Amino acid sequence: MEARQSSRTALAAAAHRAAHQVIEGGLIFRDPLAIRILGESAETVALDAQRHPARRPMRLFIAVRTRFTEDAVAEASERGLRQLVVLGAGLDTYAYRHVGLATGGSECRDGLRIFEVDHPATQAWKRERLAAAGIAIPSNLSFAPIDFERETLDESLATAGFDPAQQTFFTWLGVVPYLTEEAVWLTLGFIARIAGGAHVVFDYSDPPESLSPEARVHHEIRAARVESLGEKWLCHFEPAALRARLNELGFTEIEDLGPPQIRARYFPDRAGPVPERGGHILRASTIQ
């Protein structure tokens, strides 16, 4: 992305989350703030989605990865979770849905401290969208702007008040494909070293050359689209090699959902063939 420009793929992801609320009625996950933060009407969101039916698989994948992640955060909260770090937060609304909405308050229900990490330009844009939508910033949320050319993740989080002695969950959605492998492993290494123990969820794709001819065509169409937005896909992973490397870093519990597992868990009644390879959603933890 451009140095002073908010992420255009973050906007696209937010549009998909909003469209899921309208087109599928929030079947996979419900987000009452998705349309508000986008700043569009439900009718406009639906019309745009209907004009681009080929984007439906990506919309459903984004809905699934959000549901999978938030279910994992809820489970970790029952195991002593104290902090949540949203890496590449974009227009994610979890922190704003997690507060005491039942009482109209701005306090977190369970004491969870949340940090949103993103490029300064994207965070400034998000804060403008929040203000325009009338969405309050909860008291348990801290923004941690980061320019990777000038500072590291640990420096950015430390400045925001992050405590590495506390058990922490890192969500990292729609980001890994845009990074170099070196940057991915540096971040995962940092997460693995959190003294209080850590969990992470991120999504990735199998290498394009390993896909079926049909799947590769769809992959190349999507890759060309994000590259046209100035945010090129840079890395892919072989599942077995990825798991082995995660084990080496100290992640002892790993759950990796590829296309067959996603179909079985979230779309059990859907008919037709399912590709063996494609997009994955992975959860890893250093806590046994």
215-235 core/surface letters (b: 16 or more CB in 10 A; e: else): bbebbeebbeebeeeebebeb
Flag whether 204 is in a domain: yes
* Domain tally, the chain: 1
Flag whether 205 is in a domain: yes
Flag whether 95 is in a domain: yes
Angle, helix 153-160 to helix 181-192, in steps of 10 degrees: 50
Flag whether 3 is in a domain: no
Count of CB atoms within 10 A of residue 24's CB? 15
- Distance (Å, whole) CA 69 – CA 282: 9
Q: Are strands 253-257 and 141-145 parallel, antiparallel or unpaired?
A: unpaired
The pLDDT score that the predictor gives to residue 110 is 60
Flag whether 2 is in a domain: no
Q: Are strands 168-172 and 83-87 parallel, antiparallel or unpaired?
A: parallel
Flag whether 110 is in a domain: yes
Terminus-to-terminus CA distance in the chain, angstroms?
A: 37
Flag whether 97 is in a domain: yes
CATH number, domain at 69?
A: 3.40.50.150
Evaluated on CA atoms 255, 256, 261, 263, the torsion sign reads positive
- DSSP for 46-87 reads HHHHHH-GGGHHHHHHHHHHHHHHHHHHHHHHTTT--EEEEE
Q: Residue 179 belongs to what domain range?
A: 8-285
The pLDDT score that the predictor gives to residue 128 is 96
8: buried, middle or exposed (CB in 10 Å: 19+, 13-18, 0-12)?
Answer: middle
- Distance (Å, whole) CA 87 – CA 91: 11
Flag whether 1 is in a domain: no
Angle, helix 239-249 to helix 181-192, in steps of 10 degrees: 40
22 HSE (CA, 13 A, CB side): 22
Residues recorded for the chain = 288
103: buried, middle or exposed (CB in 10 Å: 19+, 13-18, 0-12)?
Answer: exposed
Task: Indicate the SS3 state at residue 221.
Answer: helix
Ordered mean pLDDT values, 10 residues apiece, the chain (288 residues): 65 95 96 96 96 92 97 94 96 87 44 94 95 96 87 93 97 94 95 97 91 80 78 91 98 96 93 82 94
